[in-house]
Structure formats: C-alpha cells, structure tokens
Structure 1
C-alpha cells in the first residue's frame, strides 16, 4: 500500500518528535524525578554508605548500592518507608535534640520529595538533569573512601571461621613493623575493611603502645596471637581504641589540628565479631585490614576514644520496653 505525501510528512514529523523528546523511565513526570530531584538527595545523604561493596568496608555498611537509577529504582518503596519513619539515614542519638557536627538526617522537604517521587511511580526523568557523579574514592581505584592510605596493616594471617562456628568474638594482634611505621606519628584518620562481610557483625581496632601491652590479669599482648573473648582487646591500660565498623557506621577523618598519637613498635589489635549459620560447608576465610592516614603536621589536640557500656544486664521475658543504660563521669 502506498503512503501519500501528506501522510508521509506527518509520520516523519512524529518520528522526529519522538527522537528529540527526552527518554523517561515511566511514571508521572509532573512531580519529582530521579535525575533532577532524587539523585542529589542520594548523593548528599545515602551514597556515603550505599555504594558498591568494594567501596564501603566490603559491603558491611549497607547491603545495596544506590549509585544510579537502575540500582535505586527497585528499592523505591522501601526508601520512602524508611525515610518517612526517620530510620534512614541512621542516627542513634535520642531526644532531646542536640547539636552534632556529623549529624545525619533529611529535611522535611527532602522526605516529601522522596515520598512524592515514589507515589508518582518513581520516574527516572531526563538524564540531562542529573548532577555530576560524585567520586567516592578520591580518584583512586582500590576502593578506599578517603584516598590511598599512608600505610595499611592486615590481621597477622587469614582466619578460617570453622563450620561449627555460630557466634565468635576473637582478637588478633600484629606489631607495626619498621617498614609500616619508622617513627612516631599523628594519625588524622583510619579506614577499616572487615574482610568477608557475610560473617562479620562488627570489628574494632585498638593500638597498644610499646610500654602498654600487659592485660589486667598480668598476661602480655603477644604479636601474632589470636585470643577469644569479648574483652580481649579493651582490658589493657593505656590502649587506644582507633575505630569500629558495623552496620550503619563509616570511617571518618579528624578535623585539622586533631590527631591520634601512635608510637613506632606499637601493636595493633583487631577485635572481630563473627557470626553465621553453622553447618557443613559453611566455613569462611577472612582477613580484615586497616588503612592509616597520617597528619603532615603535629596535632594540637590528642584525641582519645573512651567507652560507656553495660554488659551485665538481663532482659526480663516479655518485657515490652526494657531500658538499659550506663553512665560515666568525664574528667580532665
């Protein structure tokens, strides 16, 4: 069948219009779209944790990535639900509201934007509206969040979490070599990689100065040792807790002028909490590591982390809201 010249002209015009129009990924385009409205919120508040597994403590911080529309769209309803309940971004300080330099949270307008986006069908919108992608590795290719560390220390050796293990607290110790640390330094930040995130609940790293390597029971912290028990890393006077990694936590850098003193010859203690379903064939080998970022100038203020904890409580059966607390008087 022949097509008349007028019909052909109309058809050609329609084809031209369809090619020139922006490509949208479904949904109502009158409201918020991913590229214009949602992606800036993701970059500012979510991608710090929700990124590919090699760039977020091997996946420990967040189990899924929100770096682009294809990754984010399947989680749209869950995102709206969590932000409306103010469960995400995670922030655990309770009321009354204080003032924190690193506080996480969304504004009411940002929450409304995400909720409206989901109600409209979570449309992608026009890619031309997207802000520039954020480079979360500072241009490096090895996955470190804050750039390439000045030096990296690993657990003494890979550790096999056996088939029959269900819940295990264990600490590993390794001495800083002359190559790692030829002189005393001020550390301005650390970054922890947990090893295999499938079996890691959390990890903490401690420093034991050369003259502070004796536990409360008189035993010494030995290079290369592996010691089971929850308090194996923290029962040494003079030890310094560097950092911990767990669900919802992330590495951080100290402000200018602040630092953690580390002496050459110190021991590094890796406290690992492993958990998994026991059974034949479930054994996993894992090796955690920590990257150190050294200050180029002496710090004006020494930073020390102290713990406030309560390990001696029991929750009564069927209690609806059992409150557990602890306190400590800070002295200077």
Structure 2
C-alpha cells in the first residue's frame, strides 16, 4: 500500500512539473463536478503550447486606447485618470479557466469599486465575435464591460499571452504594477475550495496605500491567445512605405490632410508622415482618426471612410517598427495635391449665405436669415455642398424652401418645405442616389438656421452653398424625403456618466431608409439606430459607440434598408454628464434640450423614400401620417407604444398630464397614437377658434 502511495505521489509531483502548477495543494471538490474535467482539457491545450511561447515583457507604460465593449459602449483608458487603480483582466470565450475565475474577479470588483477602482475585461481573441461574446456574457454572468480588441493592438502592447490574467495599472503613471492571477484558487486541471493567496487584492491594497507591490509578477493559469503578428516583428520593419503605407494614406487621409484641406497638417510625403507617425499611431488607437465612427460590426455603409483592420495593423506595426523609409520613389511626393474648391465639381448654382460677424466671446442666438430663391422654374435637386468659411465658429447650417420671401427677412422653420442641404461640424456633401431627387419649386425663398459659436477671436463667416440639379426637363423617378427622430423632453442628471434617452417614429407605409445623421452636443457619448419590425423583432442598423461632436456626418447605408409599414425606427442616445467627459462644460448641471452647445439635443435626421411614391404620384399624406407618431415616440420611454402618465415630460407633457383622463378615451391607463392625435386635433381647433374670435392663441 505504501508502495502504491509513493508511486501516486511521484506521479502527482511529475504532473505538477509538467503542468507548471505553482500551488500543488490537494484539490478540493469543485462546486461544478465537471469543472475540473473541463479545466483539464483547457489546461492541457493551453499550457502544452505555453512551453514554446516566450512571455512578452511589460510595456514601460500603457498607451491610451479606445475600445467598444460587447454592448457597443466605448471606453477610453486615459479618461479613467482619476481612478485609484485600473484593473484589466484578459478574457476569452469558451475558456474554462476564465469562466471559473469570473466569480473571483466580480468579488474583487465589488470590494474595490466603491474605493475608486475601475475594472475592465479585454478580449483579444481573433475567433471571438461580438454576438458570441454577448451570449457567453449572459450565460456566465460577466457583468464587467468586455472590451473587444479586434485588432489586438492593446493586447500586443500590454504583452498579453493568455486569458484570466490580471493587470493592475496605476493611473498616475499608467504603469502596470501587478501582472498575474487574481488568486491561487484555480490552476490547471484543479481548483481549491478557497484561495489562500490573494495576489490582485494585495497589489491593489499596496497601490492605494502608496506602497510598492510586494509580488508584482505571478505566473497565471489561462488559455493561450494567438497573437500572430508577434511572430512577424522582424517583418514589420520591412513593411514598404512605397507599396503599403503611401497607398493607405492617399486613400484614407490625403483628402483632408492636403493644402486647402480641413486637416491641421499635410500628409503628402514621407517626411511629413514620418514626423507625425507617433500622433498617427495615437489617433488610430483612440479611434479619433479617421473620423468615421460607425462600428464595423454593425451594418455596411457607402463611402465608408474608416480604416480596414488590415490597414490599421499595417500602419501601427510600421510606426512601431520606426516608420522605415525603405526603397523606391515616394509616390505621394510626385503628386501636386490641392483640395478642390468644390469636391463634387463645378456647381450649377452657388448661393451666398448671408454673412455673420461672430463675436470673440459670448453666446450667439440662432440666426435665421432668408434669401430669395433665384430660379423661376422648379428644378429637381440631386446634390449640395455647404462650404463653411469659419469652421471653428460654425456649429451648423440648416436650410428650407419657403413659398415666398418673408416680409421680415426671417427664415422661420415653421414655414419650411424641402431642404436644399445642411451642414454640421465635420459633415460633407449631401448626394442623392441615382434617379432620386428633391423637388424645389420656382420663386419663393430659402431660409437658413445658422448656429455660430464664438471661439476666442472675432471673425466674419461668409459660407456658401453649391447646388447640383438634374438637367432641365429631366426629373428622377423617385422622391427623397427627410424627417428627424427627436426628443426635446430629454433631462440629463448632473454627475451621471451613462444616461440613456430613447425616441422613435412609426412608419405608416413601406419605405426605404437611405441614411441617418445622429446629432448631439458636448455631452453626447454614443448613439444607436434600431429598426423594430411589425412582428416585434429588432435589428441594429447603426451604432456609434463613440459619438464625436467634432465629426458629424450622415451614414449612408450601402443598400437602402427596407422599412415595412408598421415598423419603428428607434434612436437611442447615451450622454456623459460626468467630470470624466473632457468636453463637458459643467458636470454639476442638470441638462435639458437647448439650442446652445452647452445644452443638449437628441436629433437623428433620416433620409428615406416611400416605396409607393414617384415623382408623378406624390404622397404627402404619408409624411403627415409619419409625423403624427412624433409626440408618442419622443415620450414613450418604455417603448410599449402607449404614453403613461409618468412618461409625459416637458411643456407638452405638462398639458397632457393635466388632461390625461379626458384624452384616455378607452380608460386603459395609456395614451395611444390615435388618442394623442385626436387631442392634438382638438387643441388645434380650439386655437384656431380663439384666433378667429380675437382671443390669445
């Protein structure tokens, strides 16, 4: 018997050496009777390969990055500078070590969150897609944001090799002060009933007490992560500037970064690109450039200006290799770059927007000038470009056709019809698809809504708008329409980092959606657009995990989205009214809807057409029916297609609450779209009667 025990003990010792188990205490019974079995397979696969994998060294400091999590919410590392510590734990779907470690990570989070420690998971697995990460997070209770490092740039810089590894980072220096397992409970093929050593907690205690971390590095168990570019470090120095880098810069950068372009520097030769290469790496890692923020995992878009994953990795790896010049003539230096006056070519008509003197400081109310429409015959508009002279001072320019020139010269929006173009910070030309256009009658006037923001220097803005028409006598077959999902009832609490608001429109007839233009102000954090079909199923159409006020644009779908009659288009905005938002004018303030940039907006402009409408058979009544859903859509926060008493907000909400019992004709405790429409019609008739009788409206 002793002989058998000796053999067994020797076998166990051999196993410990083979698997690299640092804590070889006898395993206790697992809470999951199958956990040890599954861990054994994972441990075998993971650690068997580890013998051939040299551990990558820690970086001198962790560079800034921005990544979206599995729920398409963005997280930027350096915005956590006020945290006491940042804990990043490497994650991977299907890894039993990760699954078994998750409860300990959550317990660590629960213990230290109130002390100002931030926790994030980092998934650098090439095989893990967002949908699968979402599903596993639900199944295993991952309630810490899982950052999707799809290009592996963050994992590469951190030196990640396997899952379930904890990195404790000091935000004062952005140095990693601890790397290793959360504790000693889980090892390969076995686990203890209770941890005896709490490495991560000890590191956090030391960091927050200002002491050196006693044990800064501990070998961790976990499933190996494949980083194929690590084996190609020598090849990165051979990336060709001539054949690889210059074509990317010309395709995705030069349009803005050339003489006369809107970019702050020119990137038209190797010397300039090399000089700005550290900055290029930074703006790519933080998703500031290129300024195209639609998440690549959601939808396909026409004229997508984002870098592809391969382009991102090629640029960053080339820069990290020292941005070598290599052989060959510089293909960019051979070209004389100059931004064209009008990117769409010579316009058919150019209108001067009335000049405005922007003051050095202060608050400027919206300006609403109007000008006569110079064409006497109606024309079909196919494209427009607004060229802004003072880009720092112009927040937006909106336009609308009016049947006659107002006597007071003011282009009030209540009189507007079709838009002839628009601009917001960072936006570009508006172009209709082939055989689709907007009809602008002859005569009348064009009204403008111009928002100017002082920027520290007095300046005069003389913006212009270029218009492109279909040839005279030619009209497109189909008609482009526009409407906005908006919610002027929004209220954003003070000192709140993630406040959500939602609004929608109900489409009464079959339509095709061409583009969406999300718009918020300085506290805008993210924006989504979802379609809900008549059967209740939903599909995410557009997601901006990181909304950027400085770069706003219409996102045009690669193929128009079919919107069946009865579908809802639902817009969701998240606002960051916390001190961690560097653009926040005042986190102590409760923020409501307002025109100025220090106030907020909820505004998603849509371009669409009715399937049944042609230029020979116009359907304005469809637009009227669509607009009828606006009031319900802006206040129905629980999306049940009914307005409850508690949901009625704002000035109109106050009026609804006062008359709720009367409006609720079926007495079901909720107001339907038909009930709200009937109430609006009644209020409209009363207002008209008062005006006709000489009373105040």
Q: Could you tell me the TM-score, scaled by structure 1's length?
A: 0.70
Q: Alpha-carbon deviations, 1:173-225, whole Å to 9, x = none? A: 11112xxx242111111011112223122222x23142xx6xxxxxxx62783
Partner of 2:502 in structure 1?
325
Q: Distance in 2 between matches of 1:45 and 1:172?
A: 37
Is 1:145 matched with 2:343?
yes
Q: Distance in 2 between matches of 1:116 and 1:192?
A: 38
| Aligned-CA RMSD value | 3.0
Q: Choose between structure 1 and 2 for higher RCO, CA contacts under 8 A separated by at least 6 residues.
A: 1
Is 1:225 matched with 2:409?
yes
- Rg larger in 1 or in 2? 2
Using a 3 Å threshold, how does the CA distance of structure 1 residues 325 and 99 change in structure 2: closer, same or farther?
Answer: same
- The count of corresponding residues between Structure 1 and Structure 2 is 272
Using a 3 Å threshold, how does the CA distance of structure 1 residues 95 and 38 change in structure 2: closer, same or farther?
Answer: closer
Q: Distance in 2 between matches of 1:287 and 1:224?
A: 21
Cα pair 1:259 1:303 within 8 Å, conserved: yes
Cα pair 2:257 2:267 within 8 Å, conserved: yes
Is 1:287 matched with 2:462?
yes
TM-aligned CA deviation for residue 167 of structure 1: 4.2
Q: How does 1:277-316 map to 2 (within 5 A)?
A: 277=455, 282-296=457-471, 297-316=474-493
TM-aligned CA deviation for residue 93 of structure 1: 3.9
SS of 1:328's equivalent in the other structure is: strand
TM-aligned CA deviation for residue 97 of structure 1: 0.8
SS of 1:169's equivalent in the other structure is: coil
Cα pair 1:136 1:145 within 8 Å, conserved: no
Q: How does 1:205-284 map to 2 (within 5 A)?
A: 206-210=399-403, 222=406, 225=409, 232-233=412-413, 235-236=414-415, 239-277=417-455, 282-284=457-459
Is 1:79 matched with 2:256?
no
Q: Distance in 2 between matches of 1:51 and 1:115?
A: 21
Q: How does 1:27-176 map to 2 (within 5 A)?
A: 30-53=237-260, 55=261, 59=262, 62-93=263-294, 97-126=298-327, 128=329, 130=331, 133=335, 143-156=341-354, 158-176=355-373
Q: How does 1:178-189 map to 2 (within 5 A)?
A: 181-189=375-383
Cα pair 1:242 1:305 within 8 Å, conserved: no
Cα pair 1:174 1:268 within 8 Å, conserved: yes
TM-aligned CA deviation for residue 47 of structure 1: 3.0
SS of 2:498's equivalent in the other structure is: coil
Partner of 2:221 in structure 1?
none
Q: Distance in 1 between matches of 2:459 and 2:317?
A: 43
TM-aligned CA deviation for residue 124 of structure 1: 4.0
Q: After alignment, is 85-94 or 298-307 more displaced?
A: 85-94
Is 1:202 matched with 2:396?
yes
Q: Distance in 2 between matches of 1:29 and 1:95?
A: 25
Unaligned runs of 5+ in 2: 1-234, 510-697
Q: Alpha-carbon deviations, 1:10-33, whole Å to 9, x = none? A: xxxxxxxxxxxxxxxxxx994334
Partner of 1:193 in structure 2?
387
Unaligned runs of 5+ in 1: 1-27, 214-220
